[in-house]
Structure 1
Amino acid sequence: IDYGPCAFMDRYSLATVFSSIDRQGRYAYGQQITIAHWNLSRLAEALVPLFSENEDESIAKAEETLNTFAGHVQQKWLSGMRRKLGLVTAEENDMSLTTSLLQLMEKNQTDYTNTFRALSNEKTLDQPLFKDADFLKWRKLWLAKKPDFALMQTHNPAVIPRNHLVEKALAAAVEKDDYSVIERLLAVLKNPYSEPVDATEYASPPPEGGEAYKTFCGT
């Protein structure tokens, strides 16, 4: 599997895409289920002859299985999001509560990791999202569910290998033969759910312009 075009999303956006050759957003963050289904469909085409001697029956079996994919992914995704929001008991409005938050995050161009970490720590950030009237309404509904903050703190990392930090570490190693930068970064990443001593360096979003980060097959 080619992991070259992969990277970590900073500001939440369904349109997030890193691959330099993906100009149409085919593999954008919000297209994951769609493109995964497409890939599985191509795999199914190759396996169809093995399902049954009757081609029509084989195709029907493949389609039946593929049609369950999106639902399974949505269930797994929601299960993970419940943990990120500390929702111990599954309720019908969990999906709408989750998507409402994500829509507010996208509207306010909020950092994905730091937003969930702030919610985990019962803190607010000096960002537009936390002053948004709709967010304040959302927060009230969420708090009414009595979220488990301890659970949240084990599912929302304080640090991730942000793209600009990885690039900085690589540059120091390649250009200056200085491996101390990457060693410090790796030491912090070994405990992603612990607040880093130097939060300004390791937990901050990229500087202005860093959102335009692009990856290549050789990244």
Structure 2
Amino acid sequence: MLSVMHTLDTLPFDNSYARLPDGFYSRQVPMPLEKPRLAAFNPDVATLLGLDPEEALRPGFIGTLNSEYPLAGSQPIAMLYSGHQFGHYVPQLGDGRAVLLGEVIDPRGARWDLHLKGAGETPYSRSGDGRAVLRSTIREYLCGEAMHGLGIPTTRALCLLDSAESVYREKVERGALLLRVAPSHLRFGSFEVFYYRSQFHHLERLADYAIHHHFPHLQEESDRVTALFREVTERTARLMAQWQLVGFAHGVMNTDNMSLLGLTLDYGPFGFLDAYEPGFVCNHSDHSGRYAFDRQPKIGQWNLSCLGQALLPLMAGEPGEAAEKANAVLEEYDGDFAAHYAAGMRRKLGLRDERPEDGALATDLLKLMADTGADYTNTFRTLAHFDSRADARNDRLRDLFVDREAFDTWAMRYRHRLQIEDSRDSERAVRMNGTNPRYILRNYLAQNAIEKAEQNRDYSEIEALQMLLKDPFTERPGMESYTEEPPEWGQRLAISCSS
């Protein structure tokens, strides 16, 4: 039975990270924004935290989250970490525009970080102003909900504050605050910073902390750190498969943006595929295509190798033995990823059983989609209506492909595969519609919401998308326009790290 909902003033904080030595973070007072206003609020996240959703209507709510008044129980800190950015090690990064307000214990006993993004300059800002702009916070707010609705582990956000404060990027924009929520904001780079500084006592303390609070089932392992590395590897492989299956490109897969818990973390220049393009690069600053869509799985493994290197001093055995164990764990990654991806692709194709030809069936469909430029999301959603009768033409699906004869050949194979497992079209359609989303956060949809908010302080499109994306699988009458492929202006939106 859940307890009574809390107010902001009565949220139960237990700030375990702030109890670590000062070398793990810097104490930081958030800087209020000028004339804040509530642009979006997520009652589902409020309920998750045990916070009464009616708190958003209380006069002091905005002022408290804008740090004009103290939040009872919070202990704001900026977390220290480093990381490999575009393949190059950067010795010190850290929360350059965010503070960890503290950790709230929800009614079920789970721990949630309250992380305020855009809270002003910190010791890790690297000459930046420590602010976030409205457009990027809208994108992160919406994508957290989109990924959660898709069943993919992610950070989420309680609320978004707009302001009258000017922030200078490529142009003058309005500053904003995002209150991000996650079980932990520990990153691969949280460990790298202490490894490269040879601060192995801090490294060990951090590993003990992570296992105690987030991987307690590993406490009794004889080699807890190797076990930790194995679990992080498996979670990362699963996350990469989930990204690929929904057509999500992160854009900045640096090790400081990789979550120890296998969460999707730090939404910057992300993008969901419209036309299926394996080499899609969503970050216009990524000139080499390092973080292209089809490279994400291998980059996930490369990032894990950086984490494994940082954990080597803590693994049991002599250095050579520890390295062998770490490499053995890394070698499991390909199999883990392949298993998660294959199982997910079978679900997308509506297949119940596993057969040797399934991989080729999926790969050949994707090649047809790439050759045609077929829309990734809409093609799989339409495939649910495939008529498996021998004389069926499936014109609605067929017309998505330029080379219709090539599709017909593939369709014969798919029909035969369905017959092998005695698939029933109506039952298969229900399964597939529960796997293949009807709605995704297309870049142009997010841009529509951004422009309304920037130009007229009209936040209605944020709310509309939030409601739609929380359940992306259920067809909504009157919402057909949200499934359309992007108009010409929205096909190549330039999304960068400048936020």
Q: TM-score w.r.t. structure 1 length?
A: 0.92
Residues 121 and 153 in structure 1, CA contact (< 8 A), matched pair in contact too? no
* 1:152 CA displacement: 0.5
* Cα distance between partner residues in 2 of 1:117 and 1:30: 21
Residues 19 and 216 in structure 1, CA contact (< 8 A), matched pair in contact too? yes
After superposition, residues 98-109 of structure 1 pair within 5 angstroms as 98-109=362-373
Partner residue in 2 for 1:36: 300
Give 1:8's match in structure 2, choosing from 259, 272, 282: 272
Unaligned runs of 5+ residues in structure 1 are none
Amino acid at match of 2:369: M
Residues 15 and 30 in structure 1, CA contact (< 8 A), matched pair in contact too? yes
Residues 104 and 129 in structure 1, CA contact (< 8 A), matched pair in contact too? yes
3-state SS of the aligned residue for 2:284?
Answer: coil
* 1:130 CA displacement: 6.6
Partner residue in 2 for 1:187: 467
Residues 173 and 179 in structure 1, CA contact (< 8 A), matched pair in contact too? yes
Greater shift in the superposed pair: 32-41 or 139-148: 139-148
Amino acid at match of 1:132: R
* Cα distance between partner residues in 2 of 1:166 and 1:128: 25
Greater shift in the superposed pair: 199-208 or 188-197: 188-197
Amino acid at match of 1:114: N
Partner residue in 2 for 1:55: 319
* Cα distance between partner residues in 2 of 1:23 and 1:57: 39
Amino acid at match of 1:18: C
Aligned length: 219
Residues 129 and 135 in structure 1, CA contact (< 8 A), matched pair in contact too? yes
* Cα distance between partner residues in 2 of 1:27 and 1:101: 23
Partner residue in 1 for 2:442: 162
Give 2:485's match in structure 1, choosing from 187, 199, 205: 205
After superposition, residues 127-142 of structure 1 pair within 5 angstroms as 127-129=399-401, 131-142=403-414
Partner residue in 1 for 2:432: 152
3-state SS of the aligned residue for 2:485?
Answer: coil
* Cα distance between partner residues in 1 of 2:448 and 2:400: 29
Residues 438 and 474 in structure 2, CA contact (< 8 A), matched pair in contact too? yes
Q: TM-score w.r.t. structure 2 length?
A: 0.42
Greater shift in the superposed pair: 82-91 or 128-137: 128-137
Greater shift in the superposed pair: 3-12 or 102-111: 3-12
3-state SS of the aligned residue for 1:167?
Answer: helix
1:112 aligns with 2:376: yes
Greater shift in the superposed pair: 76-85 or 170-179: 170-179
> Any idea what the Cα deviations from partners look like across 1:51-76, whole Å, max 9, x if unmatched?
13411111111111101101110110
Give 2:356's match in structure 1, choosing from 75, 92, 104: 92
Q: Percent identity?
A: 37
- Normalized per residue, which structure has more helix? 1
1:64 aligns with 2:344: no
Amino acid at match of 1:69: Y
* 1:167 CA displacement: 0.8
3-state SS of the aligned residue for 1:67?
Answer: helix
* 1:44 CA displacement: 0.5
- Normalized per residue, which structure has more strand? 2
3-state SS of the aligned residue for 1:212?
Answer: coil
Residues 349 and 432 in structure 2, CA contact (< 8 A), matched pair in contact too? yes
* 1:180 CA displacement: 1.9
Residues 372 and 403 in structure 2, CA contact (< 8 A), matched pair in contact too? no
* 1:218 CA displacement: 4.6
Residues 372 and 401 in structure 2, CA contact (< 8 A), matched pair in contact too? yes
* Cα distance between partner residues in 1 of 2:494 and 2:317: 46
Greater shift in the superposed pair: 136-145 or 74-83: 136-145
* Cα distance between partner residues in 2 of 1:113 and 1:199: 16
Residues 382 and 397 in structure 2, CA contact (< 8 A), matched pair in contact too? yes
CA RMSD of aligned residues (A): 1.8
CA gap of 1:201–1:152, structure 2 versus 1, over 3 A, is same
Larger radius of gyration: 2
* Cα distance between partner residues in 2 of 1:112 and 1:183: 25
Amino acid at match of 2:292: A
Partner residue in 1 for 2:281: 17
1:176 aligns with 2:466: no
Partner residue in 1 for 2:496: 216
Unaligned runs of 5+ residues in structure 2 are 1-256, 258-265, 387-393
CA gap of 1:72–1:152, structure 2 versus 1, over 3 A, is same
Amino acid at match of 2:385: N
* 1:181 CA displacement: 2.1
* Cα distance between partner residues in 2 of 1:52 and 1:63: 14
* Cα distance between partner residues in 1 of 2:495 and 2:399: 28
* Cα distance between partner residues in 2 of 1:100 and 1:32: 20
* Cα distance between partner residues in 1 of 2:342 and 2:398: 28
Amino acid at match of 2:336: H
Greater shift in the superposed pair: 77-86 or 45-54: 45-54
